[in-house]
Amino acid sequence: MVDATDLYQEIIMDHTKSPRNYEHLADADHEAQGDNPLCGDELTVYIKLDDGKVTDVTFEADGCAISTASASVMTEAVEGRDIDDVEELVETFKNLVTGEEDANAIDPAELGDLAALRNVQNFPTRVKCATLSWHTLQAALNGRDEPVTTE
């Protein structure tokens, strides 16, 4: 068993207590809603694009610590990136938290605070909490109207 303190690391706690980019983005040109019935997490992701680049990304959420922290970390990680770059990061993150990619093979400097969420792979029931915002981000970028659900 991994101790709970390993899951709720300092970085995660910090993002949970003070989520970054936590606001409604009035002039968003893309938005999507996601929900994870397994845990009860609900969130909305707002994106503003300019010339294929994410110039602004925010979220609002009603969920557990992991889903909120993951969304907060995500907004910081994708802001300023090209859409192709974002799609790549979404895949990297999903592989990281599902344990499909060797965490040691990923450069922590490249991931920044995202690396803090890799211990989620030790808690299979929390993986969907961590990936919810990322699925929702993809849905927003792809302009899907249907709410995203992890089920």
Q: Rule CB under 5 A: which residues touch Zn ion? A: 39, 41, 64, 67, 129
Rank residues 48 and 63 by Cβ distance to Zn ion and give the closer one: 63
Rank residues 47 and 129 by Cβ distance to Zn ion and give the closer one: 129
Q: What is the phi-psi region of residue 51: left when phi exceeds 0, alpha when psi lies from -120 to 50, beta otherwise?
A: left
User: What residues contact residue 134 under an 8 Å CB cut-off, 6+ apart?
Assistant: 70, 74, 90, 93, 94
Distance of closest approach, residue 43 Cβ to Zn ion, in angstroms: 10
Q: Which residues pair with 42 in a beta bridge?
A: 35, 62
Rank residues 8 and 81 by Cβ distance to Zn ion and give the closer one: 8
Terminal-residue alpha carbon distance, the chain: 26
Distance of closest approach, residue 125 Cβ to Zn ion, in angstroms: 9
Distance of closest approach, residue 56 Cβ to Zn ion, in angstroms: 25
